[in-house]
Amino acid sequence: MSEPLLSIRGLRAKVEGEDGEILRGVDLDLERGEVHALMGPNGSGKSTLAKVIAGHPAYEVTAGEILFEGEDVLELEPDERSRAGIFLAFQYPAEIPGVSIANFLRTAVNSRLGEGEEMDVFGFQRTLTEKMEMLKMDPGFATRYVNDGFSGGEKKRNEILQMAVLRPALGVLDETDSGLDIDALKIVARGVNRLSEADEALGVLLITHYKRILNYIQPNVVHVMMAGRIAESGGASLADKLEAEGYDWLQQAAAAV
Amino acid sequence: MPQNETIAGLGLDEYKYGFVTEDQPVFKTVPGLSSDIVRQISHHKEEPQWMLDFRLKALDVYYSKPMPKWGGDLSKLEDTLDEIYFYLKPQDQMERSWDDVPQEIKDTFEKLGIPEAERKALAGVGAQYESEMVYHSLKEQWEEQGVIFESIEDGLAKHPELFRQYFSTVVPTHDNKFAALNSAVWSGGSFVYIPKGVKVEIPLQAYFRVNAERMGQFERTLIICEEGAEAHYIEGCTAPVYSTDSFHSGVIEIVVKKGARFRYTTIQNWSNNMYNLVTQRALVHEDAKMEWLDGNLGSKLTMKYPSCFLVGERAHGEILSIAYAGDGQHQDTGGKVIHAAPNTTSQITSKSISKGLGRSSYRGLCKVYDGAEGAKSNVECDALLLDEQSRTDTYPYIEIDENTASIGHEATVSKVGDEQLFYLMSRGLDEAEAMAMIVRGFIEPVAKELPLEYAIELNRLIELEMEGSVG
Ligand SMILES: Nc1ncnc2c1ncn2[C@@H]1O[C@H](COP(=O)(O)OP(=O)(O)O)[C@@H](O)[C@H]1O
Ligand SMILES: [Mg+2]
């Protein structure tokens, strides 16, 4: 298996039914076991890229390809991509009133097991409890309705809990760090690191605004997205430079081209 | 996964219980309605003269009242009424034990997927098959407590004084056209009496099913809950599919005496050609509490507004309802609360779901009489639309003659959002599963009030309605 875990080639996308392109030729390779940070100013297209990877129906891919484990996923429905091993931790998770986290997650787990192979309630409960302990979550959390009335921090933690239970091959984390205080950030970062330790092949695309989380999750590569393209890629030190100098130098470089 | 594709594929409206069991009715009237038919029904039931007189008078009232112009479309109903059978009796005697129940009927229960527990183990199962009770048992301990749980016919035959004292006192014949019709041709239903202070722990259950083409079902239930008594009555039913329009018009009367608590739970899943027009009302006395829990699926048109007449101080009435309107269905449901005494309180919670050409309406009346000081009422109705075409409307009528009353009303309409669907699908749920989960979540506040096996059954019904149609 020599192909990258995720390989994006010349990806262009726009909102279905509208004109302006949001993604204007994205190229990105992410190997198994790697953590890539994706930074960039507001509105540069980071969340759009994340949602296009997961198959959001609001976007139309006009050119390029997304290969996951060597397979083209563009024709797959979001649930098929999920079952294939792609996970998106949402920047703004949807609220599902009346559906408990436990019920939702058990259904999600069982959706990837064959008929008759489903996890029983008790087995599932054990897994869930264990993951919740890892993320220092109150046991009562499992009975709460999915994201309904959650604080920003609770929503983010809930996303990582789901990733921990579903064990994807690729986690795309869209600003999971924003809105977290430092303690919560450490807990979430440690949770992600534990998942990486447990599964050395786990790939992570970590979308963030701030260098802060990169102090706790070491990236192999840092990319900067500008106006729908990867404008710059580099090592962890690129994040330091962005922290110190902002994005202006990249904007000027881009304008000079 | 554009929105319209998502929705069109779901096919929530196929009726999944469309099977027919061969039956051999012992007695069947000719189609249509006349005073002769009414006489025949009464004669066949060996009723006392007063009941025959009552029926005949009710028939006149029925003829004299015009078809309601509000609610749903009843324009085709007159034709339907000419074609249906107003009475049908499958067996000429009541079954006493499960072993005596004919295999055919057991098969019907089997096909309905009624859990074994519901079929027989749960005490007090009174199952209405066609127009009459065919199976009826009552747990010994209840008999010892003096609880009566009979078919309505046996109630009249065995407890004539008690019956006559309360019958038609909560829903008088002239109340509405369909109450009058029911009063003329009623057949089947339950008679329940809970003596003073008796607390019945296990719910009293009646599972019944309409099972003959063009047959009208006019069940009549009379329940008396004496002072300080407590009980829970559950009724659920499903009907098979037929091509001609069918009709169901029940009357439920409940008297909840001082300090008593009573809950009446119904889950109805009618076939898509059924007119379902039911009058259910409770008279709630001082410090008593009445709860209606009402689930309506299927039917062509349902008009049903469980009511609480709060006639004693501090009486409390609660109405929780769920309605699901699929393509071609109109659910016109809601509730009525009448505050006629000081410090009475009420709560109406209504949840409706509409899909495709389905339409759900909330219709509620809150009336507070002059002198009902400190009355409090709160109405909450939430509608969920599954697509662009489906519709919902709200008709809250509020009449207040008392200035110390406090009334709250809150209505929300939401649409299953693309973001919600995408969120669930991004966790591996396919489209149909995701949609079903959102719907289940929406009704959860009401479903969680049901006994577990009924909550499961309700969810299963909804799943059956939604399953297997996404490509
Ligand atoms: N569904 C959408 N409809 C309309 N515009 C959108 C939609 N999604 C993204 N955009 C636009 O695309 C651009 C990129 O947005 P986004 O991907 O959220 O950026 P980022 O996550 O980098 O802040 C923004 O200008 C945003 O307004
Ligand atoms: Mg974003």
- Band the pLDDT of B208: cuts 50, 70, 90: very low
Pick among A74, A107, A121 to test the B interface (most B CBs inside 10 A): A107
pLDDT above 80 (res B18): no
pLDDT above 60 (res B283): yes
Lowest average pLDDT, out of A35-44, A56-65, A80-89, B296-305, goes to B296-305
Mean pLDDT of chain B: 80
Which one has a higher pLDDT value, B69 or A174? Answer: A174
Which one has a higher pLDDT value, B348 or A247? Answer: B348
Residue type, B400: I
Which one has a higher pLDDT value, A252 or A232? Answer: A232
Strands B301-304 and B330-339, sheet pairing: parallel
Domains of chain A plus CATH, in order, are: 6-256 (3.40.50.300)
- Band the pLDDT of B23: cuts 50, 70, 90: low
Task: Provide the residue range defining the domain that includes B127.
Answer: 23-416
Q: Is B132:B154 a contact under the CB 8 Å cutoff?
A: no
Phi, psi angle pair for B85, to nearest 5°: -90, 130
The C-alpha atoms of residue A51 and residue B110 are separated, in whole angstroms, by: 47
Average pLDDT of A81-97? 96
Residue type, B94: M
Helix-, strand-, coil-residue percentages of chain B, each rounded to 5: 30, 35, 35
| Helix segments in A41-100, DSSP class H | 46-54, 78-84
By Cβ distance, the residue of B2, B428, B441 closest to A108 is B428
Any ligand 1 atom below 6 A from CB of A121: no
Q: Mind listing the pLDDT tens digit for each residue in B342-395?
A: 999 999 999 999 888 889 999 999 999 999 999 999 999 999 998 888 889 999
The C-alpha atoms of residue B133 and residue B135 are separated, in whole angstroms, by: 6
Q: Encode A171-200: b = buried (16+ Cβ within 10 Å), e = exposed.
A: bbbbbbbbebeeebbebbbebbeebbeeee
Average pLDDT of B416-429? 94
Q: Is residue B188 part of a domain?
A: yes
**pLDDT > 90 in chain B, percent:** 48
3-class secondary-structure state, position B187: coil
The C-alpha atoms of residue A236 and residue A218 are separated, in whole angstroms, by: 8
Q: What is the DSSP string of A6-38?
A: EEEEEEEEEETT--SEEEEEEEEEE-TT-EEEE
The C-alpha atoms of residue B228 and residue B230 are separated, in whole angstroms, by: 7
Residue with tokens 């703004």: A92
Residues of B in contact with A102 (CB under 8 A): none
Probe ligand 1: pick from A14, A38, A42, A47, max atoms within 8 Å of CB? A47
**CA B2, chain centre distance (Å):** 37
The C-alpha atoms of residue B242 and residue B274 are separated, in whole angstroms, by: 9
Q: How close, in Å, is residue A83 to chain B by CA atoms?
A: 5
Q: How far is the CA of B119 from the centre of ligand 1 (A)?
A: 56
B428:A111 CB<8 A: yes
Q: Is B48 left (phi over 0), alpha (psi -120 to 50) or beta?
A: beta
Any ligand 1 atom below 6 A from CB of A63: no
Q: Mind listing the pLDDT tens digit for each residue in B67-113?
A: 888 778 888 777 777 777 777 654 443 444 556 555 655 565 555 55
pLDDT above 50 (res B132): no
- Band the pLDDT of B465: cuts 50, 70, 90: low
Q: Which two tokens stand for residue B428?
A: 């591996």
Q: Which two tokens stand for residue B455?
A: 């909550």
The C-alpha atoms of residue B221 and residue A45 are separated, in whole angstroms, by: 64
The C-alpha atoms of residue B396 and residue B69 are separated, in whole angstroms, by: 17
3-class secondary-structure state, position B35: helix
Query: What's the pLDDT score for residue B261?
Result: 98
Ligand 1 atom closest to the CA of A41, numbered from 1: 22
Lowest average pLDDT, out of A27-31, B90-94, B426-430, goes to B90-94
The C-alpha atoms of residue B351 and residue B346 are separated, in whole angstroms, by: 17
Residue with tokens 């110190």: A244
Query: What's the pLDDT score for residue B471?
Result: 24
Strands B289-298 and B261-270, sheet pairing: parallel
pLDDT above 70 (res B278): yes
Query: What's the pLDDT score for residue B460?
Result: 72
Q: Is residue B444 part of a domain?
A: no
Any ligand 1 atom below 6 A from CB of A16: no
On whether ipTM exceeds 0.90, the answer is yes
Which of A51-60, B3-12, B384-393 has the highest mean predicted lDDT (pLDDT)? A51-60
Query: What's the pLDDT score for residue B214?
Result: 37
pLDDT above 70 (res B302): yes
The C-alpha atoms of residue B239 and residue B229 are separated, in whole angstroms, by: 33
Average pLDDT of A2-20? 94
Q: Is residue B12 part of a domain?
A: no
Which residues of B make CB contacts under 8 Å with A? 1-2, 417-420, 422-431, 433-434, 437-438, 440-445
Q: Is residue B126 part of a domain?
A: yes
Q: Is A45:A212 a contact under the CB 8 Å cutoff?
A: no
- Supply the residue whose CA is at minimum distance from atom 25 of ligand 1: A43
Length of chain B measured in residues: 471
Q: Which two tokens stand for residue B376?
A: 């409090």
Q: Is residue B460 part of a domain?
A: no
**pLDDT > 70 in chain B, percent:** 75
- Among the listed residues B216, B156, B304, B164, the one whose alpha carbon sits nearest the alpha carbon of residue B29: B216
Query: What's the pLDDT score for residue B117?
Result: 42
| Structural domain count of chain B | 1
Strands B220-225 and B190-194, sheet pairing: parallel
Burial of B117 (0-12, 13-18, 19+ CB in 10 A): exposed
The C-alpha atoms of residue A80 and residue A62 are separated, in whole angstroms, by: 21
Give the count of alpha carbons within 13 A of B162, CB side only. 20
Task: Using alpha carbons only, give the angle B266, B33, B298 rounded to the nearest 5 degrees.
Answer: 30
The C-alpha atoms of residue B141 and residue B408 are separated, in whole angstroms, by: 43
Q: Is residue B383 part of a domain?
A: yes
Residue B285 CB partners (closer than 8 Å, separation 6+): B255, B256, B257, B258, B260, B311, B312, B315
Residue with tokens 């204007």: A24
Residues forming a β-bridge with B383: B352, B413
- Band the pLDDT of B141: cuts 50, 70, 90: low
CA A118, B435, A144, B269: dihedral to nearest 10 degrees?
-90
CA nearest to B437 within chain A: A99
Q: Is residue B258 part of a domain?
A: yes
Q: Is residue B322 part of a domain?
A: yes
- Supply the residue whose CA is at minimum distance from atom 7 of ligand 1: A15
Residues of A in contact with B349 (CB under 8 A): none
Any ligand 1 atom below 6 A from CB of A43: yes
Considering only the C-alpha atoms of chain A, give the largest distance between any 2 of them, rounded to a whole number of Å. Answer: 61
- Band the pLDDT of B238: cuts 50, 70, 90: low
Which one has a higher pLDDT value, B104 or B200? Answer: B200
Interhelix angle for A121-134 vs A101-111, to 10°?
110
Average pLDDT of B273-278? 87
Which of B159-163, B265-269, B453-457 has the highest mean predicted lDDT (pLDDT)? B159-163
Q: Is A226:A44 a contact under the CB 8 Å cutoff?
A: yes
Residue type, B279: T
The C-alpha atoms of residue B303 and residue B318 are separated, in whole angstroms, by: 19
Query: What's the pLDDT score for residue B15?
Result: 41
